[in-house]
């Protein structure tokens, strides 16, 4: 299987790859003239690129006509996730990208153990994790990780979506009953401490539908993966 790289420098049957990716292809993969890779514009269009030259900081390609990426799900899911302890958010981001989320939005809530600290730096790292996962699992877009919000800001965001599903540790309706025909979906899962009752109420008043993930108590890093897998299964995007 040819390697995949994201680049926006594609047009008129030609393409260029810059920076670390160019270095990786030229010096780590030791690619040669004529070798083929898949180039993705990050907007769900892919191209077969054939190497036509190496320059100091870039690799040159002839590019095939673009074709739609086959890897994007038919639903656009944004994962709003309670900010967990330690390095768990990196794992959550990686799995969310593999399972087809378009973006991840961490949030701080009352029972979060994590507190905001060097978040700009961390956000850059989370986005690198997302980009690496996107390349590795073959996504057609580059999912983004937003800067963290406070839970109180979530209601203002939910209007962007056809539906919001709130995975509450106290249980709720089955996702399959609540799903309907929603395409643009907000999925909300908590941090280690879960949600305070008034936070749960706030989310429900903002229109989020409460769903349950079964009688077993899932860890905060398992719940988003399981909920995304459930969403993708029920919409035919995990088959």
Give the binding site for a second copy (CB under 8 A).
Answer: 70-71, 73, 94-95, 98-100, 136-139, 173-176, 211-219, 222, 225-226, 229-230, 232-234, 236-239
Q: How far is the CB of 56 from a second copy (least distance, A)?
A: 32
Which residue lies nearer to a second copy by CB, 152 or 176? 176
Choose among 140, 152, 46, 129: nearest CA to 102: 140
Which residue lies nearer to a second copy by CB, 149 or 238? 238
How far apart are the C-alpha atoms of 184 and 28, rounded to whole Å?
A: 39
Q: Is 229 helix (H, G, I), strand (E, B) or coil?
A: helix
Q: How far is the CB of 172 from a second copy (least distance, A)?
A: 9
Q: How far is the CB of 14 from a second copy (least distance, A)?
A: 27
Which residue lies nearer to a second copy by CB, 120 or 239? 239
Which residue lies nearer to a second copy by CB, 60 or 188? 188
Those residues with Cβ within 8 angstroms of residue 117's Cβ, 6 or more apart along the chain or in another chain: none
Token pair 């002839």 is found at 62
- DSSP H helices, 63-195, are 88-98, 119-137, 154-157, 175-178
| DSSP sequence for 124-149 | HHHHHHHHHHHHHHT-SB--EEPPPE
Q: How far is the CB of 90 from a second copy (least distance, A)?
A: 13
Q: N- to C-terminal Cα distance for the chain?
A: 20
Q: How far is the CB of 112 from a second copy (least distance, A)?
A: 19
Which residue lies nearer to a second copy by CB, 60 or 175? 175
């Amino acid at each position: 299987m040819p390697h995949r790289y994201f680049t926006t420098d594609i047009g008129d049957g030609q393409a260029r790859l810059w920076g670390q990716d160019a270095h990786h292809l030229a010096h780590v993969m030791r690619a040669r003239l004529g070798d083929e890779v898949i180039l993705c514009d990050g907007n769900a269009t892919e191209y077969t690129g054939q190497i036509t030259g190496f320059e100091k900081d870039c690799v040159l390609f002839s590019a095939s006509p673009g074709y739609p990426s086959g890897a994007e799900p038919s639903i656009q899911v944004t994962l709003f996730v309670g900010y967990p302890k330690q390095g768990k958010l990196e794992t959550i981001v990686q799995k969310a990208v593999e399972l087809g989320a378009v973006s991840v939005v961490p949030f701080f809530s009352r029972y979060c153990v994590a507190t905001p600290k060097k978040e700009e730096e961390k956000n850059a790292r989370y986005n690198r994790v997302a980009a690496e996962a996107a390349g590795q699992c073959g996504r057609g877009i580059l999912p983004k990780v937003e800067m963290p919000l406070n839970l109180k800001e979530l209601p203002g965001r939910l209007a962007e979506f056809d539906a919001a599903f709130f995975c509450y540790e106290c249980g709720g309706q089955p996702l399959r009953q609540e799903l309907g025909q929603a395409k643009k979906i907000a999925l909300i899962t908590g941090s280690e401490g879960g949600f305070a009752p008034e936070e749960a109420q706030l989310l429900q008043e903002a229109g989020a539908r409460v769903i349950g993930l079964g009688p077993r108590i899932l860890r905060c890093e398992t719940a988003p993966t399981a909920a995304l897998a459930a969403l993708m299964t029920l919409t035919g995007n995990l088959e």
